[in-house]
Amino acid sequence: MDTFEIPDEIREHFRAARRAVAFSGAGVSHESGLDTFRGAGGLWERMRPEELATPEAFRADPGKVWRWYAWRHQTAAGARPNPAHLALVRWETLFPSFTLITQNVDGLHARAGSRGLLELHGTLLEARCHRCGKRRDLGEAVAESPEEPPVCACGGRFRPAVVWFGESLDPRVLSRGQDEAASCDLFLSVGTSSTVYPAAGLIELAHRAGACVIEVNPEPTPFSRLVDLRIGAPAGEAVPRLTEEIERCRTRG
């Protein structure tokens, strides 16, 4: 990767920051071999979200939706965290407060070792009954019933514990994310097209609160012109390098 320049005023933010937030999307897992949703080769280029990721799709054809998530679960389970996931774990010790907010459901941040994660769009690791809300391990549920969603003791059906289009995010998770974004002084947006709301609104919240906002994405996003530093490089290269710079600033001043 071409080295990127970090201006002095950004280094000053690295030294002074007390509350940092990282906000991630599918691009952070791309170098682990997982598909993004949008852009060349993205999942939504070859599949229709309204047939796979909505409550209506699940009602119309639960087996189809279940099998697609079973495939995604299997792919995610076979993937390994990459250097971007691993570098973000180090942010926990770099700042007095650090919160990692992700739109990803693949579990790779947690597997890398990140703690206190806010998963805005839920998780692919668990299934929950659409009727009574009971939760269970998705891998076990798929092993037991690979073709159709298993039936819960209450008579409802298990579905992946993710947020679908047309559904609300967990209000507690969203409001914690919004509070963190609105009160941080350093905000890293990485690997997201920044087009899906309310998640993408966190970037604007941080910017309005006066945080130093950094974007890591090989492609521009609707927020690229608003951020304080844009790094047009893959996360697996840029985030470790950025992390080293922050470590240098904070340990040596």
Closest to 222 (Cα-Cα) out of 195, 251, 249: 195
If one asks whether residue 42 binds ligand OAD (CB under 6 A), the answer comes out as: yes
Q: Among 30, 73, 85, 121, which one carries the catalytic annotation? A: 121
| Nearest-approach distance from CB 216 to ligand OAD, in angstroms | 6
Instruction: Tell me the C-alpha distance between 147 and 40, whole Å.
Output: 29
Q: Which residue minimizes CB distance to ligand OAD?
A: 27
**Closer to ligand OAD at the Cβ: 6 or 57?**
57
User: How many whole angstroms separate alpha carbon 110 and alpha carbon 123?
Assistant: 11
> What are residue 117's phi and psi, to 5 degrees?
-70, 140
Contact with ligand OAD (CB under 6 A) among 36, 123, 189, 243: 36
CA distance 138 to 126: 4
- Identify which range of 107-115, 129-137, 193-201, 244-252 contacts ligand OAD by CB under 6 A: 193-201
Restricting to residues 173-192, which ones interact with ligand OAD according to CB under 6 A? 191-192
Q: Give yes or no for a contact between 36 and 30, defined as CB atoms under 8 angstroms apart.
A: yes
**Annotation says 121 is catalytic:** yes
How do strand 158-162 and strand 212-216 relate by DSSP bridges? unpaired
For the window 94-123, what string marks contact with ligand OAD as x by the rule CB under 6 A? ---------x-----------------x--
39 binds ligand OAD (CB under 6 A): yes
- Choose, by CB under 6 A, the member of 235, 242, 246, 249 that binds ligand OAD: 235
Q: Quickly list DSSP for 27-71.
A: GGGGGGT---SSSTT-HHHHS-HHHHSSHHHHHH-HHHHHHHHHH
Copy the structure tokens of residue 78: 């076979």
Q: How far is the CB of 85 from ligand OAD (least distance, A)?
A: 11
Whole-angstrom Cα Rg for the chain: 19
The binder of ligand OAD chosen from 6, 17, 22, 53 (CB under 6 A): 53
Interaction between residue 37 and ligand OAD (CB under 6 A): yes
| Nearest-10 crossing angle of helices 235-252, 8-16 | 70
Contact positions vs ligand OAD (CB under 6 A): 25-27, 30-31, 36-39, 42, 49, 53, 103, 121, 163, 165, 191-193, 195-196, 216-219, 221, 234-235
Looking at the annotation, which residues are catalytic? Answer: 121
